[in-house]
Structure 1
Amino acid sequence: MAIWNRPISAVGGRRIVVALGAAYVALTTGWAVARTAAETPLGNVLVISLLVAGPGFALLYFGYRLPAFDIRAEFYDAIAAWCLGGFGAMGTVLVVYSLQPGEIVDDFSTILILTALGSVAGFAVGLHDAEAKTRTRELEQRNEELQVTQSELEETVDELERANERLATSNEQLEHYREYTDHVLNAIHDIFYVIEKDGTLQRWNESLCAVTGYSDAEVASMNAVDFFDAEDREQIENALVRGFETGSLQVEAELRTKDGERIPYEYAASTLETPEGEVVLAGIGRDISARTERERELEQRARQQQVVADLGQLALETDDLDELMHEAARQVAVVLDNEYCKVLDLDARRDELLLRQGVGWDDGIVGEAAVSAVEADSQAAYTLAHDHPIVVEDIETEARFGGPALLRDHDVRSGISTVIGPSDEPWGILGTHDTERKTFTDEDVNFVQSVANVLAEAIERQQYQAELETLVADLEESNERLEQFAYAASHDLQEPLRMVSSYLRLIENRYGDAFDADGEEFLAFAVDGADRMREMIEGLLQYSRVETGGDEFEPVDLNAVLADVRDNLRVKIKETDAEITAESLPRVNGDRGQLRQIFQNVLANAIQYSGDEPPRIHVSAEQSGRRWTVSIADEGIGIDPEDQDRIFDVFQRLHSRDTHSGTGIGLALCERIVERHGGDIWVESEPGEGTTVSFTLPTVEERDSERASEPHTDGRPVDND
């Protein structure tokens, strides 16, 4: 049946068996339908259908159930080959039978029955054959496995024999290995240890004895916690418990030596299992003295920087220099762990230094004791003569200078001193001292210098503030005298000017008819000049009294102010047919009378400079933060950009008196009033395009203490009309 192997393998033995069974079932169904239609007796149809369909169903069922049999899948092709062989054998029999003379098998049902039975028989033989091959293959595999096992057993026996040979020398090698391990562990600079659960040291290296001073015999009798002070033992015990629970530990603690010295160490260990099955902690201990010292130095430096920052902040917040000096002395002494710190104040003659502030000194000395600033061997004089800090590690061996009585009386041996302020104009000295011999780091010296710089800046700032306050006081006094002069001058000028105006009008009334045309013109010029002089003096009087003559600030409704101004200007509004529109205006914090003056001056200008058309004016306001911006816009003749800065100067006019009247002081007065309210005033304009005057005023919530109004000096209200 080898001829079937290749095509059967290509299709699959199980598929062929199932397909053959399905074909017989399908053919039987088709034949039965055809014979029933040909009116073949139903009994014959049923018998033949069972003889064909029964084998078909058997092939279909058992072919589908092949995986349930104890047969290897590789033999499914053999079963299919036997099945096809049975089909072929029965087909051959039918062909041979048909070759006899007069004999031929032409009944289709007979062919189906015989081939189906042949296929089922072949399937049964194939199934038996496949089971036999499966058993054979399993036996072959077992034989192969037994051969492999036997080979491995032989190798194991050989290995055991070789191991027995090596075992004779293993004790000697083990001893050598232990010695080698001991050498490696002893070569480690760190401490090596193996600890049992109860804290007993199972193994250690020579470093443990070298560091602690204990002998091997002493260490063998000690517990792990015995190497620490009592206050650290609970921490170590808890660390050991956690180490055995979690499998590792890491802890820092000070190792105590036999002579009582304490050394900072870091310990790290992990659990492992000994050959006897015991769990132990094995690890190392490392000396972290250098790292601890570096961390301490970093902490010290950070603390020093923080103190300098705090003192700088205090210098900005306080005006009390003695408070700042005392706090600086206290902080320097604490940070450097010194007993004393002092601030020496150099007197005006530069020959003596007063102990102005300090800590640690005997009672009653601060503010009273003094040291020489000029003696040749004086430490203070030596410090003043140099532009860098002076460091003393031991005053007893110091060759540059001798310690003054202040330091000798307090048993001072070491310290740092530095100049406060520039070396060419020093204010004094900052010094810190201790009764023990000390070595100071560069960071310590820089720290003292930084504190001295803070003091120097504070002293310089206070001196500058005092000078500035003196200058401001002088300026205020000068301004007050100028205002008094301006008021007195303008007030005193009004009386003779009033007399001139009165007599000119008296001459005009009594003798006007006696003048010719020139005389009348000259008299008119004189009267007009006197009137203009009076208006200018009144304007100057108002300008000089903006600060001193104003009222205290209060909430002011600008809508009411605008209504008052409209009422004051009603005649001009009616004469010019002016239209004034306004948005809802805010409440501001200010002087009601002076604010009315601003509105009246600006609106009067807008009406006056409206041009040929009736004035059209709009008032609006916009808030920006804590300020209101009020704008008064007109559609008048406008202002040339080159003249816009000039209109706020006193007595500056842009037009001749023949075309427009006025004193030229109205906008200057507005500017000064706005400045008193802490605001700004400006103008935006183009010739022929109108003008917008804007100014800022404080909201009701804002209180500008620097611009608070002073009481009236003369008790009279400002003339706002």
Structure 2
Amino acid sequence: MKNIASGKVSIGFAATLFVLAINAVLAYQSITTISRNSHAEVCSDRIITILEQMVSSLKDVERGQREYLLTNNPQYLAAHRIDINQIRNKLKSLVKLKSDLNQPLMRVGTNDPSVQKQQIIDFEQKIDRNLDELVTTIDRRQAAVLTPARQLVLSQQGQQALETVRQSLIERARVERKALERLQAESRQSLADTKLAFGISSLLDLVLLSVLYGLVSWDRTKQQQSEAIVRGYATEFEELYHNAPCGYHSLDTNGKVMRINRTLLQILGYEEAEIVGCKQLGDLLATQSIQKFDDNLAILKKRGWIHDVELQMMRKDGSSVPVSTTVVAIKDELGNYIGAHATTIDIRERVRLRKQARLFAEISQKIRQSLRLEDILATAVEEVQKLLAVDRVLIYRFAADGSGAAVQERVLAGYPAVMGSNINDPCFNRNYHARYTHGRIKTVADITQAGFQPCYLEFLDLFAVKASAIVPIYLRDELWGLLIVHHCQAPRKWYPKEVEMLSQLATQLGIAITQAQLLEQEQLQGRELARSNAELEQFAHVASHDLQEPLRMVISYLQLLSRRYQGKLDADADEFIDYAVDGATRMQALIQGLLSYARVSSRKQPFEIANCHLIVRDAISNLHVAIAESAATITFDPLPEVWGDSTQLTQVFQNLIANGIKFRREVPPKIHISVTPIEPSPASATDDRVATPASWQFAISDNGIGIESQYLDRIFVIFQRLHTRVTYPGTGIGLAICKKIIERHGGTIWVESTPMKQDSFLQPPPLQPLTGSGSIFYFVIPAVGSISPQHVHKQPPD
């Protein structure tokens, strides 16, 4: 708006100056014309006067001439000559005036200078010629020649010359008067035009000046309004500057504080005069923050700004306050650093919340680390009290019928404890439980202002409660109890962040309690299972051991009957005796197998470094009779050392090799043992040695009859058989024993097999050899390098 007004004022000034210039030009022209006409009027008046004088002198010439003719007195001739000379002189003066005036002499309105000059010459010559005639006439009369003189007189020659001169002068005077009148008319017209022009221009100037004055006044008004607005903005900015929620200060090149607002002064506890121009920013920083700011100052000068730099500023009383500072550099036209503007925010609340968040994380971790319910609850009340700096933290647990009791509490000294007190709240009823079943969170900043019933206020007063926060604790969407926080010193405002952390802690507490309960249940189940397994193993051991002796007695007597009465009784008796002996023998084998299965746990040895090469050699040695009878070929790769029970591992290899020999085709069995390292550790050996594996995967492959895929998991179950005792004898316990030993070593066992092409495993194998069948038994056990030294010669848990 101000720019528009200034433009209009400039246009108004330009228009006024233009009109004044035109007015000055017109005035100059008018004054020039009037001055020229005035000079012409004076000259014309002089010319007319000269002409009149010449006419008057001409009368004197005529009178002298007449008297001379009448009297013939020479005295009159002298005056005659004098008058003629005067006329000549006046004629010269007249010609000079006309030449200077540059006005037409003979014709009015003639503007051609050559014509005017010729008219002057003609006028002068005509007068001179007539005057010469007059002189000639006088000369003749003076010679006393009467006849010529008389002839002149009679011819009226002199009189005619005089009359010609007189008429010429009179005509010239008439022309000059007419020219004078024209000049006077022009002067009057020019004066009238000048007055009109001056009037119009003056009126126009007055209008323009009025408009200009209006524009100037309007512009001045607008400027005053703008200045008032700017002053208002300045006042508003000053108020905002000083009353802003964050601190502002300005620094010069050397870091001296040049300006500071009231907010920052209140934060620091100083007066303005104590800082502005007196202190540098370094004087207001804590020791640990000075170097940090100096490091960021280099970034500020280079980049032009630094953002959210956390510093510790020193208050006047010596205490420190954490602040976040954002600084913008001030630079001159050459880009040189000359100062800075800084914004400072009090971040005590941010630091407090950050600290609370860190404590919250630590509390959550502590709560989740413990697996005992009592420890969890004790940790929760202790840490929540530290986190929120409250006077009492209480955990209240609901019973199945909706009632409840305090199960854990932490309270500052000097305040009554809730736990152990006989809580008899007249306002408490069973509906209290229902209030918190839907996630209700109750916070009271001042119990006296919460609208509680008098009976409830009296109850809270017993425990000095001034403010409280109550958050429900859920276990798998079921209300378990309440996390209650009391402030007893005075009323307290509960911030949303605090309530949110309480709610999250209650959630973590619920998870921890759930885990503790699950662990307790698992421990109970584990103890029950261990007890059951121990009883089962004891039963198996006792049963198998106690059955050995009577079974041996039965077998002995049956064998005695068979030897003594074989062929002496009828055929049925012989068959019955054979059945009895066979059943007793199989029973003895089953009892021995069951005893072996139980001994995996009852007679286990501590783990140690076991050489698998020696273990396999021992297993082959134990089977040398079966190997020789079946013409079996047993081969194996270089085998590593493992961590385990050598005796039990020998039993595993022996059982698997024996199965390869027993379940053979009509070809000599071929059994091969290989090993593969798995899960190598990141550390690698040098000198062309491979990385130490975490475990070893063994593979015992054979070229036997194989196993159908639907039976691959079944074969490791105790007493499970895939063939009849006639076809392949055995008890069905060997692979179950292998599985139990490998699991004790922390490994797994499985089988991959390609069965023979025959109708059923229950049928005897074909006579002709088949190719492409066989089984591979895999098991994994830990390597020596995967066990830390402190575990050597220690029994790992089952």
Coarse TM-score class (shorter-chain normalised): 0.5 to 0.7
Tell me if 1:592 matches 2:646: yes
Which among 469, 473, 478 is matched to residue 416 of structure 1?
A: 469
1:637 deviation in Å?
1.8
Please show how residues 238-637 of structure 1 align to structure 2 within 5 Å: 270=330, 292=346, 299-344=351-396, 351=403, 353-354=405-406, 356-362=408-414, 369-370=420-421, 372=423, 375-377=425-427, 382=432, 385-386=435-436, 387-400=439-452, 408=461, 411-421=464-474, 425-625=479-679, 626-637=694-705
- The answer to whether the 8 Å contact 1:356/1:366 transfers is no
Assess, with a 3 A threshold, how the Cα gap between structure 1 residues 229 and 375 changes in structure 2: closer, same or farther: farther
CA distance in 1, matches of 2:586, 2:632: 26
Q: Give the partner amino acid of 1:462.
A: A
CA distance in 2, matches of 1:557, 1:599: 13
Which among 234, 258, 278 is matched to residue 185 of structure 1?
A: 234
1:581 deviation in Å?
0.7
- The answer to whether the 8 Å contact 1:256/1:263 transfers is no
CA distance in 2, matches of 1:434, 1:586: 70
Residue of structure 2 in register with 1:675 after alignment: 743
- The answer to whether the 8 Å contact 1:546/1:673 transfers is yes
1:224 deviation in Å?
1.6
Tell me if 1:638 matches 2:689: no
Assess, with a 3 A threshold, how the Cα gap between structure 1 residues 514 and 473 changes in structure 2: closer, same or farther: same
CA distance in 1, matches of 2:583, 2:652: 26
Q: Give the partner amino acid of 2:492.
A: K
Q: Give the partner amino acid of 1:185.
A: A
1:650 deviation in Å?
2.2
- The answer to whether the 8 Å contact 2:393/2:483 transfers is no
Assess, with a 3 A threshold, how the Cα gap between structure 1 residues 395 and 498 changes in structure 2: closer, same or farther: same
Assess, with a 3 A threshold, how the Cα gap between structure 1 residues 223 and 419 changes in structure 2: closer, same or farther: closer
Q: Give the partner amino acid of 1:647.
A: I
- The answer to whether the 8 Å contact 1:191/1:284 transfers is no
Q: Give the partner amino acid of 1:318.
A: S
> Cα deviations across residues 482-541 of structure 1 (Å, max 9, x unaligned)?
222222222233233212211111112222242455543433332222211111111122
CA distance in 2, matches of 1:630, 1:263: 64
> Cα deviations across residues 337-377 of structure 1 (Å, max 9, x unaligned)?
434433345678865633623142438x66954363x6243
Q: Which has the larger radius of gyration?
A: 2
Assess, with a 3 A threshold, how the Cα gap between structure 1 residues 638 and 431 changes in structure 2: closer, same or farther: same
> Cα deviations across residues 417-446 of structure 1 (Å, max 9, x unaligned)?
223335854244332425233322322212
> Cα deviations across residues 260-300 of structure 1 (Å, max 9, x unaligned)?
xx999988684779xxxxx99898787x66xx4xx555555
Assess, with a 3 A threshold, how the Cα gap between structure 1 residues 312 and 249 changes in structure 2: closer, same or farther: closer
Task: Report the secondary structure of 1:595's partner residue.
Answer: helix
Assess, with a 3 A threshold, how the Cα gap between structure 1 residues 613 and 190 changes in structure 2: closer, same or farther: same
TM-score by length of 1: 0.59
CA distance in 1, matches of 2:493, 2:305: 38
Which range moves more in the overlay, 303-312 or 592-601?
Answer: 303-312
Task: Report the secondary structure of 2:525's partner residue.
Answer: helix
Q: Give the partner amino acid of 2:727.
A: T
1:310 deviation in Å?
1.9
CA distance in 2, matches of 1:441, 1:194: 34
Instruction: Flag structure 2 segments of 5+ consecutive residues without an equivalent.
Output: 1-215, 243-248, 680-693, 757-772
Residue of structure 1 in register with 2:783 after alignment: 699
- The answer to whether the 8 Å contact 1:340/1:361 transfers is no
- Percent identity, aligned pairs only, is 29
Assess, with a 3 A threshold, how the Cα gap between structure 1 residues 222 and 678 changes in structure 2: closer, same or farther: closer
Q: Give the partner amino acid of 2:406.
A: L
> Cα deviations across residues 184-214 of structure 1 (Å, max 9, x unaligned)?
5334244499999999999x9xx9799999x
> Cα deviations across residues 143-200 of structure 1 (Å, max 9, x unaligned)?
xxxxxxxxxxxxxxxxxxxxxxxxxx9xx99x98988865553342444999999999
Residue of structure 2 in register with 1:164 after alignment: none
Q: Give the partner amino acid of 1:482.
A: L
CA distance in 1, matches of 2:721, 2:337: 104
1:633 deviation in Å?
0.9
1:231 deviation in Å?
7.3
Assess, with a 3 A threshold, how the Cα gap between structure 1 residues 222 and 651 changes in structure 2: closer, same or farther: closer
Q: Give the partner amino acid of 1:362.
A: G
Assess, with a 3 A threshold, how the Cα gap between structure 1 residues 183 and 195 changes in structure 2: closer, same or farther: farther
Task: Report the secondary structure of 2:580's partner residue.
Answer: helix
- The answer to whether the 8 Å contact 1:395/1:414 transfers is yes
CA distance in 1, matches of 2:628, 2:487: 88
- The answer to whether the 8 Å contact 1:371/1:404 transfers is no
1:378 deviation in Å?
5.4
1:619 deviation in Å?
1.0
> Cα deviations across residues 536-582 of structure 1 (Å, max 9, x unaligned)?
11112212332123222222212111111211111111122111111
Which range moves more in the overlay, 502-511 or 641-650?
Answer: 641-650
- The answer to whether the 8 Å contact 1:547/1:710 transfers is no
CA distance in 1, matches of 2:642, 2:516: 37
CA distance in 1, matches of 2:262, 2:797: 90
CA distance in 2, matches of 1:200, 1:631: 81
Residue of structure 2 in register with 1:70 after alignment: none
CA distance in 2, matches of 1:223, 1:656: 104
CA distance in 1, matches of 2:263, 2:733: 98
TM-score by length of 2: 0.54
State the aligned residue count: 514
Q: Give the partner amino acid of 1:370.
A: S
1:403 deviation in Å?
6.1
Q: Give the partner amino acid of 1:186.
A: T
1:384 deviation in Å?
7.5
- The answer to whether the 8 Å contact 2:397/2:480 transfers is no
Q: Give the partner amino acid of 2:750.
A: W
Instruction: Flag structure 1 segments of 5+ consecutive residues without an equivalent.
Output: 1-168, 274-278, 713-721
Assess, with a 3 A threshold, how the Cα gap between structure 1 residues 341 and 652 changes in structure 2: closer, same or farther: closer
> Cα deviations across residues 100-135 of structure 1 (Å, max 9, x unaligned)?
xxxxxxxxxxxxxxxxxxxxxxxxxxxxxxxxxxxx
CA distance in 2, matches of 1:209, 1:474: 73
Residue of structure 1 in register with 2:72 after alignment: none
> Cα deviations across residues 286-334 of structure 1 (Å, max 9, x unaligned)?
7x66xx4xx5555555444433322222223234555544443344344
CA distance in 1, matches of 2:352, 2:255: 37
1:628 deviation in Å?
1.6
